Chain A
Amino acid sequence: GAVVSQHPSWVICKSGTSVKIECRSLDFQATTMFWYRQFPKQSLMLMATSNEGSKATYEQGVEKDKFLINHASLTLSTLTVTSAHPEDSSFYICSARDLHIVGQFFGPGTRLTVL
């Protein structure tokens, strides 16, 4: 089946610093990647949709200048949390799909803790 990886699996950073999370599709070309955020005991909330080679589409309420998304190739998308604050601490999960797949394949997630 389709495999999606994420790196790092967890990260701890100081308030005010930036953190980059990578999402890779390992055995298929991901024309679209999605970034979600999940707070403890809550559902997955879509942050943005990124299509290879174009600007990401952000959901309402998500600051595009704070959460920078780059989808430069068909197998890699990155999410950079800029000037992180404790309230950005969460579980960030990416998913990917290709043109021929209706569903999405999820990465293992990245737990971000901002001190």
Chain B
Amino acid sequence: GENVEQHPSTLSVQEGDSAVIKCTYSDSASNYFPWYKQELGKRPQLIIDIRSNVGEKKDQRIAVTLNKTAKHFSLHITETQPEDSAVYFCAASTKAAGNKLTFGGGTRVLVKP
């Protein structure tokens, strides 16, 4: 089955700096890659996603890049703010596997004011 690795597990940045989180996946058939933000005790919130036919997608301060050949994708947050502090999860899914999501281990991001 699919395996998703996420790095780093924790990330501390100064407010205004950029944060980058990287994920690798194992199943070359994976075709959908969402990123979720989860605050303590809350549900995961979709912040951005990308499909396998696209190499990059941007939404204001958030961007995701996908390298299908290397089977890795990354989340970039620019101009970080204290409210960006949360746990971020990457995930991958394939239609063949019923679109079920396989999650990375998560990255705890702390933005210091």
Contact = CB atoms under 8 A, between A and B. Distances in A.
B43 A32 contact: no
A8 interface: no
Interface string A32-45: 10100000001111
Contacts, number: 50
Given A46-B100, A46-B101, A93 B89 contact: no
Contacts of A111: 41
Interface residues of B, number: 22
Given A102-B51, A103-B32, A43 B105 contact: yes
Given A106-B43, A109-B42, A111-B41, A49 B103 contact: no
Range of interface residues on chain A?
20 to 34
Contacts of B102: 46
B43 A109 contact: yes
A57 B98 CA distance: 10
Contact of A32 (B32, B98, B103, B104): B98
Interface of B: 32, 34, 36, 41-46, 49, 51, 89, 93, 98-106
